[in-house]
């Protein structure tokens, strides 16, 4: 087991002037499960491949423990990687697939058999050791790929979107197995995904990247409750946070008929570069339905209601204004679709107007100029 450190690690692909990963500074503790998450092209897989030695590091350094591995060959880094596409040998049995790396390393047959049997027991693969990959389900193949990594007993596990080829139900089941397995083994793990639900449920900490730049690192609770900037606020959470740019009028923020109160601390933190505006975010569950006569409401015209049994979501738009106001779910200026979570079986009629307020303490304020979080 070991720590992992990215020290201003940068990767610029040939023919490009823009870094795919730009001066990444990140420390991963011994035994920690860290999830790298972000949209496609954000640099998360490149960061993982730099750690694995599959991509050159153009500037900065990477350490595993106290050892600088920046220029060390992948086979000498003592890491094991699990890929999205399983990468199993179709002509080999499960046992041979799991033990192949040890065989290449020249380990004794008895040791290989012992390690494979131990890993198969952990992963519930004992009945399948003599089968070929084509006789396995997708979830079983992914467990074989995990077993191949486990038998090597590496210092670091690297996982590159290992669940993306599985169906939705199996993905939920397998992600709990991987998280539980990692905690039992205690091996430092770096896990890449574009699915922020996976990130929130699996990781000890999450690192969010965008355009090659690290945006925020923290626990799942930190990322969800206190996003450090507008990008993280719009990316983390499912359904996504509602975001929009409001005009500041005294101690209120206004956008068309929508009015949201602002604290003195928030107003005081605004700078001239904000030009009298503020970006405000609120999650679907942070809204409460109130009377139309209440002071400071957001009127939402109902377009569609999604009943999920335990929850219900209202999808609508800001009532009384034309398109172009920019208030909606996800990144700012998106589809202008507002989402409100309501108790099940209380759905309003399509076309009706729902008046909502942000619950106290659950409003997220950001600077328009910098995108950074403001005091609440």
* For residues 154-163, average pLDDT: 92
Hey, which of 155-164, 166-175, 200-209 has the most confident mean pLDDT? 200-209
Those residues whose C-beta lies under 8 Å from the C-beta of residue 145, and which sit 6 or more positions away, are 82, 83, 86, 87, 88, 162
Average per-residue pLDDT for the chain: 92
Percent of the chain's residues with pLDDT above 90? 74
* For residues 306-331, average pLDDT: 87
* For residues 88-97, average pLDDT: 94
Torsion angle of C-alpha atoms 147, 209, 78, 137, degrees rounded to 10:
10
* For residues 253-269, average pLDDT: 95
Residue 159's DSSP bridge partners are: 82, 191
Is 333's pLDDT higher than 50? no
Is 304's pLDDT higher than 80? yes
Those residues whose C-beta lies under 8 Å from the C-beta of residue 337, and which sit 6 or more positions away, are 303, 315, 316, 317, 328, 329
Residue 124 pLDDT class (50, 70, 90 cuts): confident
pLDDT tens profile 182-213: 988 899 999 999 888 889 999 999 999 999 99
Percent of the chain's residues with pLDDT above 70? 99
DSSP letter (8 states) at residue 320? T
* For residues 140-167, average pLDDT: 89
Taken in order of first residue, the domains within the chain and their CATH numbers are: 4-233 (3.40.50.300), 236-366 (2.40.50.140)
What angle (nearest 5°) sits at the alpha carbon of residue 29, between those of residues 25 and 30?
Answer: 140
364 close to 287: Cβ distance less than 8 angstroms: no
Measured CA to CA in angstroms, residue 368 lies from 43, 94, 215, 373 at distances of 25, 55, 17, 10
Q: What is the 3-state secondary structure (H, E, C) of 47-73?
A: HHHHHHCCCCCCEEEEEECCEECCCCC
pLDDT tens profile 22-79: 999 999 999 999 999 999 999 999 999 999 999 999 999 999 999 999 999 998 999 9
- Of 71-75, 152-156, 176-180, 221-225, the range with the lowest mean pLDDT is 176-180
In 3D space, the residue among 235, 230, 226, 316 whose CA is nearest the CA of residue 280 turns out to be 230
Angle between helices 168-185 and 138-150 (to 10 degrees): 20
């Amino acid at each position: 087991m070991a720590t992992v450190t990215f020290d201003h690690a940068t990767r610029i692909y040939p023919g490009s002037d823009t870094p795919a990963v730009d001066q990444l500074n990140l420390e991963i503790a011994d035994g920690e499960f860290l999830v790298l998450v972000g949209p496609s092209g954000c640099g998360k897989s490149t960061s993982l491949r730099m750690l694995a030695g599959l991509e050159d590091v153009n500037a900065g350094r990477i350490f595993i423990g106290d050892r600088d591995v920046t220029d060390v060959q992948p086979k000498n880094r003592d890491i094991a990687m699990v890929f999205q596409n399983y990468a199993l040998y179709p002509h080999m049995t499960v046992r041979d697939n799991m033990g192949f790396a040890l065989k290449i390393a020249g380990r004794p047959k008895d040791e290989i058999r012992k390690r494979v049997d131990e890993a198969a027991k952990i992963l519930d693969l004992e009945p399948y050791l003599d089968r070929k990959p084509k006789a396995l389900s997708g979830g079983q193949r992914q467990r074989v790929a995990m077993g191949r990594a486990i038998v090597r007993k590496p210092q670091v596990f690297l996982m590159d979107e290992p669940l993306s080829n599985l169906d939705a139900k199996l993905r939920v089941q397998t992600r709990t197995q991987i998280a539980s397995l990692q905690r039992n083994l205690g091996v430092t793990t770096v896990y890449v995904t574009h699915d922020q639900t996976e990130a929130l449920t699996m990781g000890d900490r999450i690192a969010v990247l965008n355009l090659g730049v690290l945006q925020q690192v923290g626990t799942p609770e930190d990322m969800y409750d206190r996003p450090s900037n507008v990008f993280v606020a719009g990316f983390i959470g499912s359904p996504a946070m509602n975001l929009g740019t409001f005009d500041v009028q005294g101690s209120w923020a206004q956008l068309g008929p929508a009015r949201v109160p602002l604290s003195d601390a928030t107003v005081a933190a605004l700078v001239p570069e904000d030009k009298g505006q503020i970006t405000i975010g609120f999650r679907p569950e942070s809204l409460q339905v109130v009377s139309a006569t209440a002071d400071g409401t957001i009127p939402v015209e109902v377009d569609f209601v999604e009943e999920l049994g335990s929850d219900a979501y209202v999808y609508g738009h800001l009532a009384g204004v034309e398109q172009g106001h920019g208030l909606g779910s996800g990144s700012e200026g998106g589809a202008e679709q507002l989402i409100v979570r309501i108790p099940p079986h209380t759905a309003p009629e399509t076309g009706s107007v729902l008046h909502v307020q942000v619950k106290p303490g659950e409003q997220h304020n950001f600077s328009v100029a910098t995108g950074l979080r403001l005091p609440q």
